[in-house]
Amino acid sequence: MARPITITVNGDKHSLEVEPRLLLVHFIRERLRLTGTHIGCDTTHCGACTVLLDGVPVKSCTVLAVQADGRQVTTVESLAVGGLHPIQEGFKQEHGLQCGFCTPGMMMSSFALLQEKPDPTEDEIRWALSGNICRCTGYMNIVKSVRYAAQKMKAAAAVPVEAGARS
């Protein structure tokens, strides 16, 4: 029996009926057609499906869509509004991706980390990404990518607003 839910995804409210057993990852990919979130292992081991649920990284392959009813979901698509986000730019500049399969989950875990800790240490970055598996890069470039993003975001935050300019 389908159940009505309302979920805000990347700032857009969606009210749909879903089967109670529908996983959040399938809701995002199939019902909303946001395919940036990848499906990897379906067991929470790989982290490719990581999204933010009320700002907290979760593996959407083990969260039911009904559990997200009334909540905020943020996917990798939210990063590229008005150009590359510093996290995306970091992954590009520092070669933090190869096949790209783990990248959306890595980026969302990185985004959550940088919201909480704008200038994380290497150990903090590695801990934040510990639930995400990459089979291609060996992680060093991913860590460098997150450091790049942190520095870029810190520099952007330090730029003073010009006198008379409106935000």
pLDDT digits (tens, 9 = 90+) for 60-105: 999 999 999 999 999 999 998 889 999 999 999 999 998 989 999 9
Which pLDDT score, from 0 to 100, does residue 81 have? Answer: 84
Which pLDDT score, from 0 to 100, does residue 165 have? Answer: 56
pTM flag (> 0.75): yes
Residue at a domain's end among 43, 78, 113 = 78
Domain check: are 90 and 146 in the same one?
A: yes
Give the residue ranges of the chain where pLDDT is below 50: 167
Which pLDDT score, from 0 to 100, does residue 11 have? Answer: 97
Residue at a domain's end among 78, 100, 134 = 78
CATH, residue 110: 1.10.150.120
Domain check: are 101 and 116 in the same one?
A: yes
In order of 10, 14, 20, 95, 128, the CA distances from 47 in angstroms are 19, 24, 23, 19, 11
Domain check: are 68 and 101 in the same one?
A: no
